[in-house]
Every structure is written in structure tokens, then in C-alpha cells.
Amino acid sequence: MSEIKAETTHHHPLIISEPDVSDQQEKSHLKTQRLASLDIFRGLAVALMILVDHAGGDWPEISHAPWNGCNLADFVMPFFLFIVGVAIALALKRIPDRADAVKKVIFRTLKLLFWGILLQGGFSHAPDELTYGVDVRMIRLCGVLQRIALSYLLVSLVEIFTKDVQDKDQSVGRFSIFRLYCWHWLMAACVLVVYLALLYGTYVPDWQFTIINKDSADYGKVFNVTCGVRAKLNPPCNAVGYIDRKVLGINHMYHHPAWRRSKACTQDSPFEGPLRKDAPSWCHAPFEPEGLLSSVSSILSTIIGVHFGHVIIHTKGHLARLKQWVTMGFALLIFGLTLHFTNGEHGSGKFSTTCVCLFIYSKVILFQWQPFL
């Protein structure tokens, strides 16, 4: 409270004596301070998600690519993971107590998992018939929120337990920021090695599945898929689907994969349509787009977002930040184009194309608006 003092002069004016609250105001400002550009980018990502979800059926060019390639819808997931990474760098910087930070991260992870399974796991089986409930035999175990939860948990824990360097609020050089956060990039390298080793080293045997959709004309029919190969990235014989079938179970995977819009499956390609009579057996099979192995690779997008957040924290001034982002974005662009033209990024991950485009686009977005309100 401010103290009111009376002056002992003839006019007796009232003088308001304000207490010294600069430290409290600074702390309060830090708690309420938001990154305006990140909020704008988050809103644009949500708008893009709504657009591709509702208009993708009429304009398949903006919907998810059936398999190889990168359409507009394929940017949405990397955008959200990037946003999560930037938020991790900024939010955890404000929590000085390590145990409290771990508690908050675990609690938020559990909330994301709960809502992901509830919303994407099939809580409403047939909303037109007003039948609700969870069919544990068919519930979808993976999804968008589950993937975000995994990336958020792992990257946040690395951020928390290597937090000492984050307290150095200083300007850093173009490459010294990589040294400050070397543990993050070591994690990124390990993630990439594990992902590529499993993707190209896992042996995929022949497999079969049964149509369990009672509304399908093929209900109860058993389909066989011939594989017996290693390091194949085509729809039926890739390691991503094999690991999901073995760990999750084929009944707990997504039953309307985008590959059904491919030319091999339907004559209406790239639109959705009835499957061809001579369609390969795998066209009838489920596939999990947010599966286990592909979610491992998505951790890289979150780590990149954390790096962008670190640049904001340690680098003062728009121009200096832009130089950092341009350097990294250009390097990743060259890396992505190299993978693309050497057929190194084929398969369900689409790592290079989506992530590289994410960097270039997010760099522009983050520079166009004033970073702090």
C-alpha cells in the first residue's frame, strides 16, 4: 500500500510516497510476459489445421499426402511440435525449482495422454446414433496429443536437468549457443540414429489381418501381405507399420489411413473413393500415422523449437536473432533438398521436407512481429 504524508507547509499539499516495488513489478512482468509472435504462429497453425481438416476432402492437394510427398496438411504436426519446443525454452526458464518443474511436466504429460486417448481413441463410436463409450478392443492408442505428450516429456526433462546453462542470460555468438545446449543436440543425434537404425534395420515378415468393420462388404475376410524384406519404405512393408502392429496391435491403429487415396488403391485418386477391385491387400489394412517409431522422429521438431527459444532468450535484437535462424534454416534446407533428390526421405516420416519447411516458415513468422508484448 502507498503511504499518504501531509506536508507541513501553508498549502498542505498531499504527497503520495510510492514504495520501492521495482523487483516485484519485474517478477510480475516476467510471469505475464508472452511471446506475441508465438501466439500468432499458434493461431495460424490452428487455423491451418481447421482448413485442411474441413477442406481437404474437396481439395486433396492440401490434404495429407497419401504416402511420399508433402502437402499443406503435413505441415500442421511439425508446426505444433515446434511451438511446443519454443514454449518449453521460455516456460521452464521461469521455474527455478527443478522438482517443481518435473512435477508440472509430468502432470501436463498425463493430461495430454488422457485427452488424446479420450478424444481420438473412439469415445464416440457413432455420434449420429448417440452411442457413446470406449470399446477397449478397438480403441486407438496413438494420436496427435499422445505424440505431443511424448515429445514434450522427453525434451522438457532434458531442458530441466541441463538448466544451469539456461540461467546465463547473456548474448552468445552464432555457434556458441550450440555449445551451451550440447545435451539437446546429443539427444537429437541419438534420436536420429535410433530412428534410422530401426527404420532400415528392422526385418518385416509377411503378415495378415482380418477386416473387423461390420459395415464393410469384406467383414471377416482375411488378407495376406507378402513382405519378408528389410529397409523397405513402401506402405505394406515399412518398419513403422510393423512395430505398431507388434506393439499396439492392428485393431488399435487408425483404420482410415491416407494411403487409401493413392492410385494403387482407388481410381478416384487423389480423392477418396471406393477401393479398386484389384487393389493390393494392404489398401484394406489400418496404419497409424502417429505411431511409435514416427513419434520418435518427431522429437527432433520439438528440439528445433527449443533451439529457437534459446536464441530468443540469449540473443538480443531482431537482426541478431534473424542471423541465427537464417543460418540454421539454410543449412537444414540444403540437407532436406539433398535427402529429397537422393530419395532419402521417402516413407511415413517425411522428416526432412516437413521440418525444413517448418524452419524457413517459422523463422519468417517469428521475425515479422515484435517478439515481446
Least confident of 133-147, 157-171, 244-258, 321-335: 157-171
pLDDT by residue (tens digit) across 67-91? 887 888 988 999 999 999 999 988 8
* CB distance 348 to 8 below 8 Å: no
Q: How confident is the model at residue 146 (pLDDT cuts 50, 70, 90)?
A: very high
pTM of the prediction?
Answer: 0.79
Residues 232-246: tens digit of each pLDDT: 989 999 999 999 999
Question: 311, 321 in Cβ contact below 8 A?
Answer: yes
**Per-residue cell: 351:** 522428416
Identify the residue with better confidence: 119 or 73.
73
Summarize pLDDT for 350-370 with one digit per residue, the tens.
444 445 444 444 444 444 333
| Percent of the chain residues topping a pLDDT of 70 | 75
Whether the pLDDT of residue 42 is over 80: the answer is yes
Tell me, what's the pLDDT at 197?
Answer: 92
Tell me the pLDDT of the chain averaged across its residues: 78
pLDDT reported for residue 117: 84
Q: What is the mean pLDDT of residues 31-36?
A: 70
pLDDT for position 126: 53
All three cell numbers of 77: 504436426
User: Does position 252 have pLDDT exceeding 60, yes or no?
Assistant: yes
- State the average pLDDT over residues 38-56: 89
pLDDT at 230: 92
